[in-house]
Each structure stands twice: as C-alpha cells, then as structure tokens.
Amino acid sequence: MQTTSTTGTRATTRPRWTKQDTTWALSLFGTAVGAGILFLPINAGMSGFWPLVVMTLLVGPMTFFAHRGLSRFVLSSKNAGSDITEVVEEHFGVGAGKIITLLYFFAIYPIVLIYGVGITNTVDSFLVNQLGMASPPRAILSLALILGMMAIMLLGEKMMLRVTQFLVYPLVAILVFMSLYLIPEWNTAALSQVPSAGDFAITLWISIPVLVFAFNHSPAISSFSLAQRRDHGDDAEQKSGQILMRAAAMLVGFVMLFVFSCVLSLTPADLEAAKAENIAILSYLANKHESPFISFLGHWLPLSRLCLHSSAIIWAHVKV
C-alpha cells in the first residue's frame, strides 16, 4: 500500500493513491464548489482579466494550507475518534471546547437555514420551469428534501460517498462543458481593460472572500480526517495532505477555467448588465444565447452544490 523512495541515506514512505482517495477528493471538491461561482465571473470580471490572474495564484495555496491545517489539528488528538470540538477540549480545556462548540453552532446554523431555503427554492423552480409540474406545497417539499439528505447520511459513510459521487460527476461535467462551450465566444475586451491600482485592490478585496467561501469544504474536514486516521493510522496526516492537495488542484483547475471562460466570452458592458440585473452568469448567458439548455444547467449546478454542502454539514456531526 506504500511506495518507498530513497534520497541519499534518507528513506521516505509515500502512501499509495487508491480509488477511495479519488472518491474523497471528488467529495471534497463537490462540497467546496459554491453556487457563488455563478456570480463570481460577474463580480470579479468587471475589472477585467488581470485581477482574476492574481486571484488564481492566491486561492490555491489559501485553500490547501487552510484545510490542511484544520485537518492536522483534528489529527493531533491522542484519541483516535475525537472530532474537532473534542480536540479543542483536549488541548485547551473543557471551557474552551464549549466556547468553540457554541461558535461552531452559530457559524453553521445560519448556513443550514440558507441551504434549506436554497434547496427548496431551486428544486421548486426546477420542477415548475424545467419539468412543467405544478409547484408542490413548500412545507412538504422542504421536509422531504431535508429528511432525504438526513436518511442518506444515516446510512453511513459509504452511502454518503456514493451519493456525492453521483452529484459530483455531473457537476464537474457541467463546469468543463460550459468552459469549452464558451471558447468560440472569447474576445479580447477583458484583456484590454487594465484597472487602476485602487480598482485592482478593491476587486481583490471584494472577490477573495467570495472565492474562499466558494472553495470552502471545512464542514467535511473533521469526518474526513477521522476516516483517514481509521484507514491509514500513522500515515493519516500525509494521506490527508495528499488528498487535500489534489482536491485544491481540481478546484483551481475546473472552477477558475469556468470563471475565465465566462469572463472572456463577455464584454465589460455585458458583465455590468448582468450585475445590474442581479442574476447568475448562466442565467445571463442563457438569455443572451436564448438557450434553454444553459438555463437547465443553471438550475442543476446550484442544486448539486446545495445538496453536497448541506450533506457535508450533516455528515460533520456523524461519528465515523
């Protein structure tokens, strides 16, 4: 299960990459990809192409090192089954553990509410606009969706990973397809737009938090780290870093390709119009190209992400 390389008198072991590792990388990718990427090309692209280049160089290391640090913190516990709040108690005492648990609740609970509303709205819109069905009672629809996700999580880790795979592959396919689909529409308008130093700094200031949130998969890190410790023992830290590195590379590669393709296919005036209409980039592109197919993708992408991130939040509270 391991490969050994020798440099001089030093020998290092590197855990072998497996299918399970690929599954985890895809799951973390799906958890991280934010519906905010549908607005990111608009917010970040209005100042031109060059701020996007700087953001791309920054967001990869930020994503990897932040999540690897959190994973290492979870793995630093002497008890193999300790989650993040229990690790805090172990290192800083019971009082600090309670404070962290309370802060974690206030950080996660609003997101749960937002995603609960978001999933309900997206599914309702999909049923009505794409499938031509009558709008179901909102209370019944939201309850059915939440109970469905909880049921999947309660079935265990293997079922959770299978479901996230089912959602992630179409998610990746949509990002790649749309990126390539827009290539014939690329123009140099964004390249010729060079913002002033002040506008450049403001664009970075506004866009980097959106990028960080869109790339965030911290709700899954605790359970992910515990799974690596269970499966790899003393090699858990190295294996976690290996998986997190590939997940970060996938995020930067696929998401930023999509963002660049959207920005290069539109003019600054188009982005201004999309911003004024306050609509997602795929909705604007669907209206511009009169394409029901793009509109369909515009519903599937946020729906997939909402399901994946909501599932990760639920899974974060399930012991491995």
The pLDDT of residue 243 is 93
Nearest to 150 by CA among 319, 318, 35: 318
Average pLDDT for the chain: 75
* 148 within domain boundaries: no
DSSP 3-state of 17:
coil
- Paired tokens of 85: 């709040």
Q: Which of 2, 306, 13 is nearest to 164 (CA)?
A: 306
What is the pLDDT, as a whole number, of residue 59? 87
Question: Which DSSP string do the residues of 139-175 spell out, in sequence order?
Answer: HHHHHHHHHHHHHHHHT-HHHHHHHHHHHHHHHHHHH
Return the number of other C-beta atoms located less than 10 Å from residue 315's C-beta: 23
Q: How does residue 5 score in pLDDT terms, banded at 50, 70 and 90?
A: very low
146 belongs to a structural domain: no
Count of CA atoms in the C-beta half-sphere (13 A) of 289: 17
pLDDT at 114: 66
Q: Which of residues 38 and 87 earns the better pLDDT score?
A: 87
**305: confidence class by pLDDT, cuts 50, 70, 90:** low
Summarize the confidence of residues 249-278 as an average pLDDT.
Answer: 83
Residue-level pLDDT at 244: 93
- Using 50, 70 and 90 to split pLDDT, how confident is the model at 8? very low
161 within some domain:
yes
**Above 60 in pLDDT, residue 12?**
no
Q: Among candidates 115, 173, 101, which has minimal Cα distance to 149?
A: 115
The average pLDDT across 114-125 equals 70
Q: Residue 310 is encoded by which pair of tokens?
A: 């909501």
Which residue in this structure is represented by tokens 């072991």? Answer: 13
Q: Any idea what DSSP says for residue 13?
A: E
Query: Which of 285, 318, 308 minimizes the C-alpha distance to 30?
Result: 308
User: Is residue 94 assigned to a domain?
Assistant: no
Residue 239: what pLDDT? 92
Q: Is residue 145 part of a domain?
A: no
Task: Kindly report the pTM of this predicted structure.
Answer: 0.73
Q: What's the number of domains the chain is made of?
A: 1
Q: Residues 193-220: pLDDT tens digits? A: 777 787 788 878 877 777 777 788 877 7
Cα–Cα nearest to 54, from 225, 178, 199, 172: 199
Mean pLDDT of 52-76: 89
User: Do residues 77 and 90 touch, judged by C-beta distance below 8 A?
Assistant: yes
Is 209 domain-assigned?
A: yes
Is the residue at 223 inside a domain?
Answer: yes
Q: What is the pLDDT of residue 245?
A: 94
> Is residue 121 situated within a structural domain?
no
What is the DSSP-derived secondary structure letter of residue 136?
A: P
- How large a percentage of the chain has pLDDT more than 90? 6
Residue 260 belongs to domain spanning: 19-83+156-315
pLDDT band at 222; cut points 50, 70, 90: confident
Is residue 5 helix, strand or coil? strand
Model pLDDT for residues 65-102, shown as the tens digit of each residue: 999 998 998 888 888 777 777 888 888 888 877 887 78
Residue 242 · residue 99 · CB < 8 Å: no
